[in-house]
Amino acid sequence: MKAIIKKLVTSVAIVAVFAFVAVAVTGDTTSALSLQDGINDAGQGTGGSTTDLGDTFKTIVNVLLYIVGALSVIMLIYGGIRYTVSGGNDKNIAAAKNTIMYAIIGLVISFLAYAIINWVLVAVAGGN
């Protein structure tokens, strides 16, 4: 049980580090503004096409959580297939049940992480 908790905490920490690094290095690379557009925006004080850091963080986290959720569903299906083709072998049945259990845990964690992160961003940013 301690090994499972250790792996879970390590995985969450790695995802958090990658999320923070991605936010730190992400810039506004989607727009194709010219230098003159930037000068005009600076002179008018419109702010150009910059995005809020909270929106960027929310987008990155939502994409990562979508990927984790999709992988959990794939592993749930894979565990079901393993369980079906186990042929009554106790070792294979136990491995398939573990795969299904960890996939469900992954789904629950991804749903909770989505809810918590969006709640925190709304509380901090005070927006929608």
Q: Judge whether residue 29 has pLDDT over 50.
A: no
Model-level pTM greater than 0.75? no
* pLDDT beyond 60 at 33: no
Q: Closest Cα partner for 102 from 78, 86, 81, 126?
A: 78
Q: What pLDDT score was predicted for residue 94?
A: 94
In angstroms, the CA 4 to CA 8 distance is 6
pLDDT digits (tens, 9 = 90+) for 78-100: 999 999 998 889 999 999 999 99
Q: Tell me what pLDDT residue 92 has.
A: 92
What's the mean pLDDT when you consider all of the chain? Answer: 74
Q: How far apart, in whole angstroms, are the C-alpha atoms of residue 101 and residue 95?
A: 10
Query: 10 Å Cβ neighbour count for 8?
Result: 14
pLDDT-based confidence at residue 42 (cuts at 50, 70, 90):
low
Residue 28, pLDDT score:
47
Percent of the residues in the chain that have a pLDDT greater than 70, as a whole number:
60
More confident residue, 31 or 41: 41
> Could you state, in order of their start, the residue ranges of all structural domains in the chain?
2-26+52-125
Q: How far is CA 21 from CA 57, 68, 122, 123, in A?
A: 10, 18, 21, 22
Predicted pLDDT of residue 16: 64
Residues 102-107, mean pLDDT to the nearest whole number:
90
